[in-house]
């Protein structure tokens, strides 16, 4: 996988993390432990892995779970939680 594709995957995950952070901050009042938040984030971001594989015609060998955790899930969860906290405190 080339660097351009990796950047696009990171941007897709960051964009959806931002959008979901705003949605969770404004509309949903979910209180839970850090493990439940990480699990919710995993469930919400896994379809982005499937979308990335189909959108960029990647094989499972090119985009393993380990690579997705580093390039997709970590970016998604970081931006999602920071945006969620910021929007929740500003509303």
DSSP-derived secondary structure for 17-74? HHHHHHHHHHH------HHHHHHHHHHHHHHHHHHHHHHTT--TTTS-HHHHIIIIIH
Total tally of structural domains belonging to the chain: 1
**pLDDT at residue 78, rounded to an integer:** 93
pLDDT at residue 12, as a whole number: 93
Both tokens assigned to 79: 């931006």
Number of other CB atoms surrounding residue 63 within 10 Å: 20
**Segment (H or E) for 71:** none
The predicted-structure confidence for 21-34, as pLDDT tens digits, reads as follows: 898 888 877 766 77
C-alpha 60/C-alpha 62 separation (Å) is 5
The stretches in the chain having pLDDT less than 70 are 31-32
Q: Which pLDDT belongs to residue 16?
A: 93
CB 81 within 8 A of CB 15: no
The pTM score is 0.84
DSSP state of 20: H
Distance of CA 38 to the CA centre of its chain: 11
Q: Residue 13 is part of which domain span?
A: 3-90
pLDDT of the residue at 31:
67
């Amino acid at each position: 996988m080339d660097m351009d594709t990796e950047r696009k995957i990171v941007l897709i995950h960051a964009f959806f993390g931002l959008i979901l952070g705003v949605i969770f901050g404004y509309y949903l009042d979910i209180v839970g432990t850090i493990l439940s938040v990480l699990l919710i984030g995993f469930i919400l971001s896994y379809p982005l892995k499937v979308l990335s594989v189909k959108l960029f015609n990647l094989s499972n060998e090119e985009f393993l779970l380990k690579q997705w955790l580093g390039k997709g899930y970590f970016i998604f969860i970081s931006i999602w939680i920071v945006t969620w906290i910021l929007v929740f405190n500003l509303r």
